Amino acid sequence: MTFKGPVEHSDTSSLVDPFGRHVTYLRVSVTDRCDFRCVYCMSEHMSFLPKKDLLTLEELDRLCSAFVAKGVKKLRITGGEPLVRKNIMALFKALSRHLETGQLEELTLTTNGSQLEKYAGDLKAAGVRRINVSIDTLDPQKFKTITRWGELATVLKGVEAAKRAGIGIKINAVALKGVNEDEIDDLIRFSHGEGHDLTLIETMPLGDIEGDRTDQYLPLSIVRARLLDRWTLEDIPFRTGGPARYVRIKETGGRLGFITPMTHNFCESCNRVRVTCTGTLYMCLGQEDAADLRAPLRASDDNGLLFEAIDAAIARKPKGHDFVIDRRQKRPAVARHMSVTGG
């Protein structure tokens, strides 16, 4: 598959928000669909978007390329599960041209790992050097309970295939009270033993799910305090461009990241925005304000209208999010599901 590029319209002005932060990191959802139904992310019986509402792969390439032209250096492909999108490797291959020119520094993705065994080699060939894989537990039965539809063995085979292909791997684990809080040590030993980084993430109040999200919330401040009983944590300045703050564990030599939107937000250094699979740009994960990029994208073969819409949106990027676990109302801070926003 080859993509036909848009009529060129030059606009290489960088993206700077009202607080002087340069937006250099774009997360793009290519689908809201997923082959898992993780309990903290989705309802078991999800209603997915009709195909006509989704951007085509050609439109996604054009949209991403417009952001690259305006100074985005890191591009993360997300979902849902991005690797379930039909012909998704055509998009990776197309976007890899920006790595070759040096305009883009990193092309990566976040995945549940279900399709990694199939696509690891193709991803490496397209210039993907590092990926995030979501694994919340190493217990097969508990993994099935958390993901509803997932098989841990399949994911671990995918991780091994990516490792063989020479792709760097970061394991992402959502810390869930009463579910996997007693497994953090095991996740550290597994990840660092395989040469992977590990990042722990606080559950975020996004989208209505079955059950009470407040029962799942586990502050990472508590997790970190518990870890200090067994491990030596050394703060390090390592950054990947995202919100994680890292320590090195002296005993393993590996890196452990903490993403703490609830206990300590990371908004002051936010350099990223998100685009959904329908072309909606969210300037903040924890705010509802958004901009429609699909309309200007489809209105003209020229990128002029698209650039104008992007600039206008970045000019409204808020200072920070308003995440809060509402124990009284027991409803999400933001109504949309994480699978819709994109990773």
DSSP letters of 155-184? Answer: HHHHHHHHHHTT-EEEEEEEEBTTTTTT-H
3-state secondary structure of 78: strand
What span, in angstroms and rounded, lies between the C-alpha atoms of 57 and 59? 5
Q: ω before 158 within 30° of 0 (cis)?
A: no
Indicate the pLDDT class of residue 214, thresholds 50, 70 and 90. Answer: low
pLDDT digits (tens, 9 = 90+) for 304-328: 999 999 999 999 998 775 545 454 4
3-state secondary structure of 18: coil
Q: Is 261 exposed, middle or buried (0-12, 13-18, 19+ CB in 10 A)?
A: buried
What span, in angstroms and rounded, lies between the C-alpha atoms of 306 and 67? 10
Mean pLDDT value across residues 127-155 = 95
**Does the pLDDT of residue 192 top 50, yes or no?**
yes
Least confident of 132-141, 228-237, 238-247, 291-300: 238-247
Where is 291: in which H helix or E strand?
strand 290-292
What span, in angstroms and rounded, lies between the C-alpha atoms of 249 and 228? 10
Please state whether the predicted TM-score (pTM) of the whole model is above 0.85: yes
Q: Does CATH place domain 25-341 in 3.20.20.70?
A: yes
Predicted pLDDT of residue 1: 59
**Does the pLDDT of residue 161 top 50, yes or no?**
yes
Predicted pLDDT of residue 46: 72
When comparing pLDDT for 108 and 35, which is higher?
Answer: 108
pLDDT digits (tens, 9 = 90+) for 272-290: 899 999 999 999 876 778 9
Contact in structure between 72 and 25 (CB atoms under 8 Å): yes
**Does the pLDDT of residue 334 top 50, yes or no?**
no
85-91 long-range Cβ contacts below 8 angstroms, 24+ apart:
85/30, 85/31, 85/33, 85/57, 87/1, 87/57, 88/30, 88/57, 88/119, 89/119, 89/122, 89/123, 89/126, 90/1, 90/3, 90/57, 91/30, 91/57, 91/60, 91/61
- Residue 4 structure tokens: 């036909």
What span, in angstroms and rounded, lies between the C-alpha atoms of 333 and 342? 17
Mean pLDDT value across residues 7-22 = 77
